[in-house]
Structure 1
Amino acid sequence: MLDEADHDHEPEAPLDMLESYFSAHGWTFDRHDDEISATVKGSWTEYEIRALWREEDGVLQFLAFPDVKVADHARAAIYETIGLVNEQLWIGHFELWSSSGILLYRHAALVDRDEDDAVLSLDAAQLLIETAIDECERFYPVFQFVLWGGKSPRDAIAAALIETQGEA
């Protein structure tokens, strides 16, 4: 999380706020017109995160790609897994792009307007980014257990989401 020394907490245009956030974290990013993308190192894999701004609708679409590509023969099991995983999410959802077999996390957020300009607060930016990364990290093993471990979707969720108690 950023603290007051890192950012003045003034809301900014959505992509400007995300650019500031990415810069503050030292993440590599690219920005073009109404889109920004960054690469983030997670504990399981490297994630591409991407935001697309739709000015006319006031919607910021946020995507995270956990570097999982699904072959045609595994799609039925992954669709079942996605259904079970999405039941556990409080914001956003996972989906599979049918044309490419790419797994992704997606969330669309309505953005507040300050007078006539759309603005995104630091808190809202953190929520979007951290939730996407956290959910990708939490469920990455589930998808890997199904794809590479031969587990059923229910067994994969049970194996990956074991709650540990205490400290080692």
Structure 2
Amino acid sequence: MFEIQPMNADDYRQRTRRSTLMIALIFLALAMALSTAAVTLFGEPGGDNLRFNIGGVFAAVLVMAALMRKLFWHQQWMAPAVYSWQLKRSLMSITNVMHHLKAAVEAGDPDAMKLLRFYHLGLSQMHQLDGNSSDDAQLHREMEQHQARMQALGIDIRQTRLDPAWLDALKRTPR
């Protein structure tokens, strides 16, 4: 279950830039080291060693993927990037069923209304974190209208958790 966490946008951007730079530098060092090692071990002096260089870079990609999953993903310096990835993944899972979600909201389904509220809150935070204010006015109008409808029906508007059961129920709804 994903939960929206309060986060300072400036701090988020600074920390994600730093973690991106660290990952890029580690990848660059790995690619150079593995390419050099491949050419040294298997290459020919003065020969065409392009395939060994490419092989070293490919090996670096595989090593970086393993490092990301097994080591870096759980480090504190990666927390903002991991949070952002999880937020965007959660929003995409809702976007994939948006046509069903809007129909269920129109029909007055309380779980669908909660899901749409989570989507609005998550999307608003994503725009804030990414510094994207281009769609803010439209999003805020939709959020206010939906919030008012939820309040009129007595549904709690504090929907900061994505309950996977809401998505499952929506997917099972007859099309």
TM-score, normalising length from structure 1? 0.23
Could you say which structure has the larger radius of gyration? Answer: 2
Structure with higher RCO (Cα < 8 A, 6+ apart)? 2
TM-score, normalising length from structure 2? 0.22
